[in-house]
Amino acid sequence: MRRAFATLAAALCCVSGAATMTAPTVDQAAIEGEAIPQKLSAFGFGMTAGGYRPMAAVGYTLRTPLFSDYADKQRFFYIPTGREARVIADGTIEFPVGTVLFKSFGWPDHNGGKPVETRLLIHRASGWVALPYIWDADGKDATLALGGRRVPVTFKSPDGETHSIRYAVPNKNQCKECHSKNGVIEPIGPKMHNFRVDLIGTQEAPPIRVRGIPARSVAMPIWDDRASGTVAQRARAYLDVNCAHCHNPAGSASNSGLFLRWTDDPTGVNYGIGKRPTAAGRGSGGMDFAIAPGDAAHSFMIYRLESTDPGIAMPEVGRSTVHKEGAALLRQWIAEMPKASH
């Protein structure tokens, strides 16, 4: 059955202009209308907490994912019949109106691995909308949580430590804080340099046809795979994915002057090297520079990544736990930089 769904999904997403079959229950009017359904089931993707693969959708993973309290994230995209996505020059995948991106958040050792929440990014004619749904106790459906919510969660991180946190399901506005470019919502993850189609349950090569894939696309390293890049390259991939959605000239942190995209000059002051705090407040931790080359202990970027205090912590939303392994990579990167001459 899974296999059948995957094949169907693949077929749907590569059809162009042909009026072929539509998944029997997906409610395209609910997707493209302006209403905000109270229940996830209203979209007709046939999802439950135990089976949260949306009907007619294709799975994907990211080479380097955003850290979210060690949550295990399951990502899918759905493109309606007869439409297609296309890749533009910078690797951004432009999805057509009617697309839904799904991301479910759970932990293998919490509630039997069932997700706590599923977030939808829906491309409507008026633009993208971000909607958070929290799974009901019986797991049969999920309910809209526009205002966000704190959910108690207990899990073990890879180092064996047990964490009991009040996991923050973001509210609709917080979705936008990260998913914002010049004040308009857009997807973050699906960029060709970080994107991998993952047809769970099939052995076939992904028959995804998305228009305009560059002949040779340069992939970002996988942050925790040493074979995929140097420490510096992996650190930059980590910063791109975990920080640059806000820290870019059109993002929520544009005023900081700290820009951490994969494409930014990694030696410049605007990348944090020798950069004094702008509006960091307590986030400076009494230090002079975001990155003091060769001296991670005096780099307040590390201080902020290793804090969970809301007045200090970065990123500002989506993290109640320190990502020790990510911080360790950045520490190593800074430690290996030649010290500044002055």
Partner 1 sequence: MRFHGLHAATLTVLAALAANPAAAKTISVSATTPDANEKLQEALILAQPGDVVQLGAGVWKLVDGLSLDVAGVTVRGAGAGESGSILDFTGQQGAGEGLLVTSDDVFLTNFAVLNTKGDGIKSKGADRIVYHQLRVEWTAGPKETNGAYGIYPVESSDVLIDSVFVRGASDAGIYVGQSKNIVVRDSIATENVAGIEIENSFDADVHDNIATKNTGGILVFDLPSLPMQGGHNVRVFENIVNDNSTPNFAPKGNIVASVPTGTGVLVMANRNVEIFDNVLADNGTANVMIVGYRYAHKDPKYQPLPRAIVVRDNMHGKAGYAPAFEGGAQIAAAFGGAIPPVLWDGAGDAVVLDPVGVLSLNLPDVATPRDQAKPAPADLSKGTPAAALPAIKLPEAMEAKVR
Summarize as ranges the residues that interact with partner 1 (CB under 8 A): 145-150, 166, 168, 171-174, 176-177, 180, 183, 249, 252, 254-255, 257, 268-270, 274-289, 300, 309-311, 316-317, 320, 342
Please, what is the minimum distance in Å from the beta carbon of residue 184 to partner 1? 11
CA distance 189 to 5: 23
Query: Smallest distance from the beta carbon of 316 to partner 1, in angstroms?
Result: 4
* 4 vs 184 by CB, closer to partner 1: 184
CA distance linking residue 12 with residue 3, whole number of Å: 14
Task: Give, in order, the Cα–Cα distances in Å from 54 to each of 7, 44, 120, 188, 257.
Answer: 13, 9, 11, 20, 40
Q: Do residues 276 and 289 lie in contact, with contact meaning Cβ atoms separated by under 8 Å? A: yes
Name which of 44 and 170 has its Cβ closer to partner 1.
170
Structure tokens at 225: 């795979």
The DSSP secondary-structure symbol of 32 reads H
* Residue 73, beta-bridge partner list: 105
Question: Please, which residue, 206 or 249, has the CB nearer to partner 1?
Answer: 249
CB of 122 to partner 1, least distance (A): 16
What is the smallest separation between the CB atom of 53 and partner 1, expressed in angstroms?
29
Q: 92: which 2 tokens?
A: 């951004």
- The radius of gyration of the chain's CA atoms, rounded to the nearest angstrom, is 20
Nearer to partner 1, 66 or 237 (CB): 66
CA distance 74 to 49: 12
Query: Minimum distance between the CB of residue 313 and partner 1, rounded to whole angstroms?
Result: 8
Laid out side by side, the sheet with 195-197 consists of 142-144, 127-135, 117-124, 100-106, 72-78, 58-62, 195-197
Of residues 249 and 294, the one with the C-beta less far from partner 1: 249
**Cβ of residue 284: shortest distance to partner 1, in angstroms?**
4
Q: Which C-beta is closer to partner 1: that of 279 or that of 297?
A: 279
